[in-house]
């Protein structure tokens, strides 16, 4: 998504050229290029698919809507398996129109996980609940903190349900250190994503994530925290930013790798 | 602030006409009308000043900036005392430019409270830390949850430092029930404010608060939660909304009182 202007073959070539060993994919560009074709393209290039984004949107009340959401999530699990990734990222869903019932919405997420978890595990796919920043609680995701995501995930086996640690969503939380430790101890950090927090936020607050190093997030702190919690998996960079999307995609890819080296990999100067 | 288009005398007259017994004031319009004049205007109308907004912005690093912030906060305390209110609302401050040190910023807030708390208490004024929504953590307030505000406040006597419970900032938090109870038990709910959460958020996310009843917040739940926690103080409505500010101020005042009656006071139909 960081370089969504790049067609999949160009993205893959760009990553290979830069020595990046894996890629996190979104369902829409995969569907556009073709599922089997995408899987072959990435595998032939020697890249790992680190995660597929996204399932979720579990909070509907209407039975028909709920059934449709579950069917779509089963399809997402199948796609993840076909792509050879073990992780499906979940954006759990906001409040149904007109509802103010946060606890009810959260319970419906748990109900959906109970159905979807075994289905996913049978296909070698783990579900990863992504706590989204609280500014998305009404319209996207009623799971707003890592603690809350873990409260949900821990109702299920870790090989079925874990969490996403995304710096953009969690950086402000004074409990994030203890909760990363908790997630690591339970073997539940299924995905680790980076984006920086920059202000002012744009209207709609969806496409204003910052390039690594441009904002308020202490990237090395997060790197060290997940490492200390035992996480040894891939690090994804996931930036939604109108400015980045308007630029040359290869240039953005190169810049992102440079920023990663400078702000995440390199020790403090 | 809900009707900032109304000059202070018109606001006071409007509130009296509508039978509203108190008003929360901001420093800027008070300064414009004159401190003594404002105090006399409100007192002559028989209104209580429920709170003064705002002190804070404690997170600067530079000694000169810190001294200036403390001096300004002492002035705010004096103004609160002159207006006859016992509550000064604090917006604690964001990260200094270029800083990523959240724990450091939070400790500087505690340092400032230690200096300001006794000064305020001597003048009959309580400081009320307002946890702001996490979307303001970088640029306005590194205190983002009620739990965090209480962790800070509880380092000091309750007659010096308490908290603000504002629905707009706290509605998403799955810990808010337990934290309101904690705040009430400690006698630390110094202020209770209402605004609704509506989407999409406008650019800058400052002026998109919703009129009571228009959004995702369960107002009666909050009313009952603070009451169960022992709160018997005033209920303020504080809405920053470009749409409301563009309308006739008296009409907005009337609408706000109607909404308050419908969504806060009235039992569920």
Mean confidence (pLDDT) of chain A: 97
Return the CATH number at B119: 3.20.20.150
Q: Where does the pLDDT of residue B253 fall: very low under 50, low under 70, confident under 90, or very high at 90 and above?
A: very high
Residue B268 — pLDDT band, cuts 50, 70, 90? low
Read off the pLDDT of each residue in B156-175 and give the average, rounded to a whole number: 98
d(CA A152, CA B7): 50
- Least Cα separation, residue B109 to chain A (angstroms): 14
Q: Above 80 in pLDDT, residue B179?
A: yes
Q: Which residues of A touch B (CB under 8 A)?
A: 95, 99-102, 106, 133-135, 137-139, 142, 144-145, 148, 151, 171-174, 197, 199-205, 215-218, 221
Q: Is residue B135's pLDDT more than 90?
A: yes
pLDDT at B69 (0 to 100): 97
Q: Which of A101, A138, A197 sits opposite B197 (nearest CB)?
A: A138
| B111 part of a folded domain | yes
Whether B171 maps to a domain, the answer reads: yes
A182 within a domain of the structure (yes/no): yes
Asked whether B36 and B78 are in contact (CB, 8 A), the reply is no
Whether A183 is covered by a domain: the verdict is yes
Tell me which DSSP letter residue B36 carries: H
Nearest chain A residue (CA) to B94? A216
Query: What number is the ipTM of this complex?
Result: 0.96
Closest to B174 (Cβ–Cβ): which among A148, A201, A204? Answer: A148
- Judge: A200–B202 Cβ closer than 8 Å, yes or no: no
Calculate how close chain B gets to A160, using CA atoms only, in Å. 24
Q: Is residue A3 one of the residues assigned to a domain? A: no
Residue A267 has what pLDDT? 76
Radius of gyration of chain A (CA): 18
A70 inside domain = yes
Select from A100, A137, A199 the Cβ nearest to the Cβ of B139: A199
- Compute the average pLDDT of residues A60-64: 96
User: Do A124 and A78 touch, CB atoms closer than 8 A?
Assistant: no
For residue B200, name the pLDDT band (cuts at 50, 70, 90): very high
Once rounded to an integer, what is the mean pLDDT over residues B7-19?
98
In a domain, A1, yes or no: no
Contact A203 B201 (CB under 8 A): yes
Name the residue among A164, A256, A172, A160 with its Cα closest to residue A210: A256
Residue B267 pLDDT grade (very low, low, confident, very high; cuts 50, 70, 90): confident
CB–CB of B174 and A145 under 8 A?
yes
pLDDT tens track for A155-213: 999 999 999 999 999 999 999 999 999 999 999 999 999 999 999 999 999 999 999 99
Nearest to A203 among B133, B203, B215 (CB): B203
The answer to whether B217 contacts A148, with C-beta atoms less than 8 Å apart, is no
Q: Say if the Cβ atoms of A174 and B203 lie within 8 Å.
A: no
The total number of structural domains in chain A stands at 1
Separation between Cα atoms, residue B122 and residue B113, nearest integer Å: 14
Average pLDDT in the B200-205 region? 97
Q: Which domain holds residue A196?
A: 8-265
A174 with B144: Cβ contact below 8 A: yes
Q: pLDDT value at position A45? A: 98
Is residue B117 one of the residues assigned to a domain? yes
Residue in A135, A148, A197 closest to B201 by CB: A135
Encode pLDDT of A113-147 as tens digits: 999 999 999 999 999 999 999 999 999 999 999 99
Distance from CA of B134 to the nearest CA of A (A): 6
Place B266 in a pLDDT band, splitting at 50, 70 and 90: confident
- pLDDT above 80: residue A102: yes
pLDDT exceeds 70 at position B269: no
């Amino acid at each position: 998504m960081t370089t969504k202007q790049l067609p999949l073959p160009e993205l893959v070539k760009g990553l290979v050229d830069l020595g990046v060993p894996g890629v996190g994919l979104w369902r829409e560009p995969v569907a556009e290029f073709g599922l089997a074709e995408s899987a072959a393209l990435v595998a032939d290039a020697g890249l790992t698919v680190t995660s597929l984004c996204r399932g979720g949107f579990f909070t509907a009340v209407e039975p028909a809507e709920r059934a449709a959401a579950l069917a779509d999530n089963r399809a997402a699990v199948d796609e993840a398996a076909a792509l050879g990734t073990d992780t499906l990222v979940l954006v759990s869903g906001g409040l149904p129109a007109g509802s103010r019932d946060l606890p009810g919405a959260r319970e419906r997420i748990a109900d959906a996980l109970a159905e979807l978890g075994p289905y996913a595990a049978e296909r070698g796919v783990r579900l990863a609940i992504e706590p989204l920043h609280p500014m998305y609680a009404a319209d996207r995701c009623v799971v707003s903190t890592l603690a809350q995501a873990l409260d949900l995930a821990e109702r299920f086996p870790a090989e079925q349900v874990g969490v996403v640690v995304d710096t953009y969503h969690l950086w402000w939380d004074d409990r994030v250190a203890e909760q990363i430790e908790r997630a690591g101890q339970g073997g539940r950090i299924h995905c680790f994503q980076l984006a920086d927090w920059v202000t002012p936020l744009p209207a709609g607050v969806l496409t204003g994530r910052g390039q690594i190093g441009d904002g308020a997030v202490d990237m090395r702190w997060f790197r060290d925290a997940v490492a200390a919690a035992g996480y040894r998996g891939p690090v994804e960079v996931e930036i939604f930013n109108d400015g980045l999307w308007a630029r040359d995609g290869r240039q953005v890819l190169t810049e992102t790798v440079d920023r990663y080296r400078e702000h995440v990999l390199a020790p403090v100067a």
